[in-house]
Amino acid sequence: MSISCSAVRAFQDLKYISAVKSRGTGTAGDWRAMRYVSRVFRKSGLEVKFDAFEALAFDERSSRLTVLLPEQRELKARALLYSSPTVLGGVEGEPIFARFGGEEDYEAVDARGKIVVIRRAPDKDSWWKEVSIASERGAVALVVVDNYPYLFSGTVETGLFAPQDRFRDVPRPIPSVVTSKEDGEYLLELVGTSAKVRLEVDAVTESRSTRNIRGIIRGRGKNREKVVITAHRDSANTPGANDNGSGTVVLLELSRALAQKKPNRTIELVSLGAEEFFGQIGAQNYCKTHKEELRNIKALVNIDMVAVGSEIKIITEGHWPDRTIKHTQWINRLLSRTAKELGYKAGYGTCVTGCSDESRFIDAGVPSAWLWKPDDPCYHTSEDTVEKVNANDIKAAADIVGTAVLQIVNGRS
């Protein structure tokens, strides 16, 4: 038994969901998407349940990076997630260069009272250590020069997997932003010329409410056993068309396609909140709230970023600095076989920057898999917009996951 989803309908869903500045945790964009997801689930005939929880959210209102001397010029800037705000009027200082911001990069650099400028290392998205070092060295701010023309949303989190280590205090909080490659190169040309730069960051870090939304299709036989399909709904201070509007609309298409299939086991579609900030808080909340039900989950498939880039990848493992998460082989093989049978191309891959929500379920003992495309040039930038996505890729992911899930929920074992 296979399913066939609609690329056209999925694209229309995505246009609505991503027509916002951000779906950050607890923002207006997040709540707008929540209402839309729950409405589609209900219209499809699913039983809808909500799990409300609090998460530490970051809301950037504005950031300004201004060269004051030798000429006045505005540069692009976006705050790192969880950056400290500046006082009214911002902070000012001479720009200095500290390569990639490690301890060894300050051997000949006096950062006291200065604005430290560093380059972004390949695949790097967490800068807790670099901000901490700059802070300890007496800098008043940190500017990261990206390798691309877009504004990347990095974070001042550690990037570690362990929840208790994910967020650590910076010794002396300082504002931190990313600038584009072009503006960053201009800024670096000013180093050593007695230039003066001002940085202003208006942002708030606070606990906000959000929800996991569960759409349930009750099984007709072994209804206590279930297969779960997840996709996070929030975005990293971006429109989030691919990350992860694409996964969200896969859930919506699957709600329409699977609702009439009368499965033997229960199917649960879960729109998770708060994946981007602070380390998959929505997934952690699900595992805590439904701890006693986790043993009944035969398989979980997570969908995150499937509409931009080359071929879709079935992830075998994700590498965090402090942990390697191995995904469930039998689910991966089923997804690969299903893709081939449907005429879609799907390869195997790994992720060097950790994992998505499925990692928290794996850590809790749930057999889990993840579909992902690793090569989106607009990842975590303001350019992650609906015009960049391939709606046919969304359909392919939905067809593969939906067909594979039907095999599991209707299988004998």
Give tens-digit pLDDT for 150-176. Answer: 899 999 999 999 999 999 999 999 999
| DSSP, res 364 | T
pTM, whole model, 2 decimals?
A: 0.96
Q: What is the model's pLDDT at position 405?
A: 98
Quote the radius of gyration of the chain (alpha carbons, Å): 22
Give tens-digit pLDDT for 119-149. Answer: 999 889 999 999 999 999 999 999 999 999 9
In this prediction, the residues of the chain whose per-residue pLDDT falls under 70 are 413
Tell me which residue has tokens 């990639």.
100
Indicate the domain borders of the chain: 7-57+206-409, 63-203
Query: What is the assigned CATH class of domain 63-203?
Result: alpha beta
Q: What is the model's pLDDT at position 412?
A: 74
Q: How far is CA 4 from CA 7, 121, 373, in A?
A: 10, 41, 21
CB 255 within 8 A of CB 214: no
Q: What is the model's pLDDT at position 277?
A: 82
Q: Which CATH superfamily is domain 7-57+206-409 in?
A: Zn peptidases (3.40.630.10)
In a 10 Å sphere around its CB, with 0-12 CB exposed, 13-18 middle and 19+ buried, how is residue 186 labelled?
middle
Q: What is the model's pLDDT at position 23?
A: 96
CB 140 within 8 A of CB 172: no
> What residues contact 254, with CB distance under 8 A and at least 6 apart?
3, 5, 229, 269, 398, 401, 402, 405
DSSP state string for 309-337: SSSEEEEEEEEETTEEEEPPHHHHHHHHH
Beta pairing class for 73-75 and 312-320: unpaired
Q: What are phi and psi of 372, to 5 degrees?
A: -160, 150
